Amino acid sequence: MAGIAPRILCIGMPVRDLILRVEALPERGSKANASHLAEICGGNALNAAIAIARLGGRVAFAGPMGDVRETSSAFILAQLGHEGVDTTHIVRMPGLSTPVSAIMIEPSGERTLTIYRDPALWTVRLPEADALLADCRAVLVESRCAAFATSLCAEARRRGIPVIVGVDRAMALRDSLLTAASHLLFASAQLQETAGIADDGAALKHLAELTPAFLAATRGPRGTIWLNQAGALEEAPAFPVQTVDTLGAGDVFHGALALGLAEGKGVREAMRFAAAAAALKCARHGGGLAAPQRVEVEELLQDKL
């Protein structure tokens, strides 16, 4: 990586995560003891922003956050400042609450969570496009934020700026981000649910009939699959690691891929870069705050040549 690092705008909803490590999920109506408690900041785009910053990119975050007097927002802003993420475009919403999630992580690394998002947060109005997109090389947005982010994403595309959408839930086939995006990155389950097809390759080809965007899906230890410019399927393996915590792994992948593309990497190289970053995150507890540094990713890539 040479010269000035690319600037990437991440759009989403910050979340205050309360994480509990458990031996097994408790049965309905029962109680269980946790072996560990952690309080971290989270959210798809926020985790991606931290990953980008640690990997050497310049990153700004935009999206709604609760009242200036609440403790969750202060906690998150302090962490983002520590990571070097630009928070000047976050919109504070009087009287509202920043989202909070409770997450249980099993020894396998699998996580189960519940989250509260104040419905009024969706009414946020982002700052003007000129302020958000100045010197911007890529936009990364959570798929759930279409209601307040689509017009900005469309403007970014008009300016020739790639728009990467991280999809962690099924999308409606008329979702505005399907066509506002230049890149759609699904998790396998959400890809199949969106397309209504129980096969990743067939699902990607079906969605390609509905959007001109680049389409890819992450599949955990089975690696990544995508459609190339010729419409043919390509795959890349995952990096084998001892997984202890999958929370935030997809977000780290999305952030690393956005940075790789902004740096001018080709698709296969950017995919490999993102897979290495996500693998290193899975080997550590801490959600998105377990995202690796650039030197760690480059060392893993070199080791696996």
Residue 49 lies in a domain: yes
Residue 18 lies in a domain: no
pLDDT of 41-64, one tens digit each?
999 999 999 999 999 999 999 999
Q: What is the mean pLDDT of residues 255-273?
A: 97
Residue 145 lies in a domain: yes
Percent of the chain with pLDDT over 90: 91
Tell me the C-alpha to C-alpha distance, in Å, between residue 91 and each of 20, 70, 94, 148, 301: 29, 14, 10, 12, 38
Residue 155 lies in a domain: yes
> Cα–Cα–Cα angle for 109, 259, 7, nearest 5°?
125
Domain span at residue 200?
7-12+44-99+123-303
Residue 107 lies in a domain: no
pLDDT of 96-111, one tens digit each?
999 999 999 999 888 8
Residue 31 lies in a domain: no
Residue 20 lies in a domain: no
Check: pTM over 0.95? Answer yes or no.
Answer: no
* DSSP annotation of 263: T
Residue 284 lies in a domain: yes
**Which CATH number do you get for residue 87?**
3.40.1190.20
Residues pairing with 86 in the sheet: 60
Domain count, the chain: 1
* pLDDT value at residue 1: 46
Among residues 80, 69, 62, 59, the alpha carbon closest in space to that of 16 is found at 80
pLDDT of 170-218, one tens digit each?
999 999 999 999 999 999 999 999 999 999 999 999 999 999 999 999 9
